[in-house]
Amino acid sequence: MTFAAWAIILGVLLIAMVLSGTLLKRLPLSTAMLYLAAGFILGPAGWGVLTLNPLNHAAFLERATEVAVLISLFSVGLKLGLPLSNRHWLLPLRLAFVSMTLTVALIAVTGALLLDLPLGAAVLLGAILAPTDPVLASAVQVKSSGDRDRLRFSLTGEGGLNDGTAFPFVMLGLGLLGLHNLGSGGFALAGD
């Protein structure tokens, strides 16, 4: 499929989602669910318009997911509207860093001890499962930059920070599995 065809499909999908925004607010569906349905319909199980082999198109899929995460985090950041010096940031920072680290560690220990996973796979499992999904919490997120509700701000801020917090754990897990270079200080962790 050519780039022009991809651009047309993506453009039509985004325009349709924007135009149906008021209708979607009345339905018990999230936009992520509708994008999933569109992917199913356009994919091999549906019309077969989008047929990507993850092994053959790994570089493209990696770039596409990076762009999606950047857009998602940028839109969350636009909603927050408070400077980092504001004390409202303390709770999201604790949720994103302290709670995330503890959750990754507990999942890694559980994976290693109960599931008999290698340490790298257990850390990677923890990094994948620990972040909360901001899409699922969208009903309680900040609606505009003027929204000062502490709970909404905390959940929105944590949702925006958790992917960045999980990244070092993903790299550590991949490094411990030998799939990524841990660097000069990583030899002790990898057991080399």
What is the mean pLDDT for each group of 10 consecutive residues in the chain (192 residues)? 76 80 74 82 85 79 77 74 82 86 94 94 91 63 72 78 82 84 57 46
Whether the CA torsion 138, 140, 146, 150 is positive or negative: it is negative
CA gap 133, 18 in Å, rounded: 22
Q: What is the pLDDT of residue 192?
A: 44
Distance CA 46, CA 49 (A): 8
Token output for 129: 């499962």
pLDDT at position 119: 94
Q: Can you give the pLDDT at residue 153?
A: 78
- The CA-atom distances, in angstroms, between 118 and each of 23, 115, 123, 171, 177 are 47, 9, 9, 15, 8
Rg of the chain (C-alpha set) = 20
The whole-number pLDDT of residue 190 equals 46
For residue 9, which of 30, 31, 35 has the smallest C-alpha distance? Answer: 35
- The answer to whether the predicted template modeling score (pTM) of the entire model surpasses 0.75 is no
Rounded Cα distance between 153 and 52, Å, is: 38
